Amino acid sequence: MNSRKMPTCAMLVALASLLAPVAAFGAPSLGLQGFLQSSAGVPAPDGDYGLTVRIYAGAKDVDPLYLDAIPGAAVKNGLFSVQLGVLKPVDLNIFTGEKAGWIGVQVGGEPELARVPLGLVPYSVHADTADLLACTGCVGVAQLDPAVLAPYATKASLAKVSTSGNYSDLSGYPDLSIFVQKTQLANVATTGNYADLINYPDLSVFAQKAGLAKVATSGQASDLTGLLPANALPAGVALTGSDNVFAANNKFQNVTVAGSFRVGTDNSACSAGNAGALRFANGIFWGCTGTAWVELNSPHQMVAYWPLDEGQGVDLNDPLNAANKGSSVGANWQANNCKFGGCLQFAGNVNSYALLPVAPFQNLGDFTLSFWQRQVASNTQPFTFSLAVPGNDNYLLLNAVSDAGWVHIVLRRIGGTTHVYKNGVLTDSIIYAAPGNVLAVTGGQVMLAQDQDCVGGCLDGTQSWSGVLDEIKVFNYSLGDGEIAAGLP
């Protein structure tokens, strides 16, 4: 066994006690406990140390009454506990007559540590002679009534944890693996503070309820402020009350209703549910026909509108003017994945197209044509819109764009110059424009998803378009850049 060497100037605090009398239990032994620390004041390192223990009569005596060498005393956290008399018996007579009074400990080859006075316990060894006395009427364990010992637990009956103190020796202890340790919790788990959240949303972009106008939460028209006064309406509008109904000729009906007149500025879709509603946008009053917004009391009008919502049959109806009815050939109605409501899909061959009347285009100077397209398959040089007239089969011709998804196409003619916009951005490369300042389309034909090489026919399969069209509109004036960019047509 290798013994460790104690750092110089180690100190000792010791407690000695006699453990057993001679006659009853054999050779006596003396228990010695102590604490070793370095000169720096820290416990001695764990390990086995060679100890030499001496018992003296006086604090300064040179010759000891008893000496025992212990080759390997275990030290843990500075503490040690050894038995004297195991290798060399202790002469109990040294404790009679106040002979022995001091104990000294030497660690390895270091000088002996400061001696410590013995307590009273070792002197109790003198009572060991009582075991040799003759006893009459002595009471032993066998004479005790078992009931006397009943309240006391025997070591064998104790649970293991009672002597080990180890949590793992408990039986039926809770499973702590389902709990998270405090060091693993985020700060907010213990503070409850919003600022301790990580990646919390930026609430500064949201409006607080206190900052909203009353109408934002009530939805009541009566809570609107800044209502448009009656005298702010354009000339030619006859109003005497608060009604939002207008006649079929786009003139307000002259109705008398109590209250004030209100005009909305929203850009919601026009449908049967809000037919007769009014709005004021871009300096123009608009009315909802139940299918489309139309400009009121102005020569600037939507002159043709094919929503393509029929869903069956071959007719393409214009809710603004029944005379503008078109027809489909070999095209399929779609109810899903349309831009608005229903839509019409073309197969991309010469047997799939639609015909529209040319009357809405006749004599147009400045005008706007708009529609939505979604390409399904590509072709060599497909066209979505063809207006052919006698002598010029490319009078007005639009190439299809190959972008994925729905694309908003707007053709605007102003001052004899024609431009095309894709999703509000100028893209003139897809257009063949008609000459002159006013359209002359007598005897002509409008065809969708094809290129007419003669009026109403002479189709080329490489120029057929495969895709879906929706919301075709024609205006008798040129829309502004802002309206086109905003997708208003």
Render pLDDT for 282-310 as a digit per residue (tens, 0 to 9): 556 667 777 777 666 556 778 899 999 99
What's the pTM?
A: 0.44
Phi, psi of 98 (to 5 degrees): 60, 40
Q: Which of 209, 270, 213 is nearest to 244 (CA)?
A: 270
Tens of pLDDT, residue by residue over 359-404, are: 999 988 889 999 999 999 888 888 899 999 999 988 888 888 888 8
Is 60 exceeded by the pLDDT of residue 93?
yes
Average pLDDT over residues 451-473: 92
DSSP letters for 20-72: --HHHHSS--EEEEEEEE-TTSSBPPSEEEEEEEEEESSTT-SS-SEEEEEEE
Q: Looking at residue 74, what is its pLDDT?
A: 92
Mean confidence (pLDDT) of the chain: 77
Residue 97 · residue 78 · CB < 8 Å? no
Tens of pLDDT, residue by residue over 201-252, are: 777 778 888 878 887 888 776 676 655 443 334 433 434 333 344 433 344 4
Positive/negative CA dihedral, 446, 450, 453, 457: negative
Is 60 exceeded by the pLDDT of residue 108?
yes
Report residue 438 CA to chain centroid gap.
Answer: 59
Average pLDDT over residues 130-144: 62
DSSP E strand stretches across 341-422:
343-347, 353-356, 367-377, 383-389, 392-399, 407-414, 417-422
Compute and round to an integer the Cα radius of gyration of the chain: 54
Tokens of 15: 């407690």
- Please state, in angstroms and rounded to a whole number, the distance separating the CA atoms of residues 384 and 400: 5
Instruction: Give the confidence band of 79 by pLDDT, cuts at 50, 70, 90.
Output: very high
Instruction: Give the confidence band of 358 by pLDDT, cuts at 50, 70, 90.
Output: very high
Average pLDDT over residues 46-57: 90
Structural domains of the chain sorted by starting position, each given as residue range(s) with its CATH number in brackets: 11-128 (2.60.40), 212-298 (no CATH), 302-485 (2.60.120.200)
**466: enclosing H helix or E strand:** strand 466-475
Q: Which of 288, 283, 239 is nearest to 260 (CA)?
A: 239
Q: Cα separations (Å) of 475 from 53, 304, 369, 415?
A: 117, 7, 6, 15
Q: Cα torsion at 116, 117, 121, 126 (round to 10°)? A: 120
Tokens of 324: 């503008």
Q: Looking at residue 144, what is its pLDDT?
A: 72
Least confident of 74-83, 147-156, 218-227, 437-446: 218-227
Tokens of 335: 């109810």
State whether residue 437 is helix, strand or coil.
coil
Is 90 exceeded by the pLDDT of residue 473?
yes
Q: Looking at residue 257, what is its pLDDT?
A: 32
DSSP count for the chain of H helices, then E strands = 6, 25
Q: Looking at residue 445, what is its pLDDT?
A: 93
Is 90 exceeded by the pLDDT of residue 329?
yes
Higher local confidence (pLDDT), 482 or 352: 352
Least confident of 58-67, 96-105, 453-462: 96-105
Average pLDDT over residues 318-341: 93
Is 70 exceeded by the pLDDT of residue 254?
no
Longest dimension (CA), the chain: 152
Is 60 exceeded by the pLDDT of residue 353?
yes
Q: Looking at residue 345, what is its pLDDT?
A: 94
Higher local confidence (pLDDT), 451 or 204: 451
Is 90 exceeded by the pLDDT of residue 32?
no
Q: Looking at residue 354, what is its pLDDT?
A: 95
Instruction: Give the confidence band of 92 by pLDDT, cuts at 50, 70, 90.
Output: confident
Phi, psi of 388 (to 5 degrees): -110, 140
Tens of pLDDT, residue by residue over 400-428, are: 888 889 999 999 888 888 889 999 888 87
Report residue 220 CA to chain centroid gap.
Answer: 36
Q: Which residues pair with 280 in a beta bridge?
A: 285
Least confident of 20-29, 51-60, 435-444: 20-29
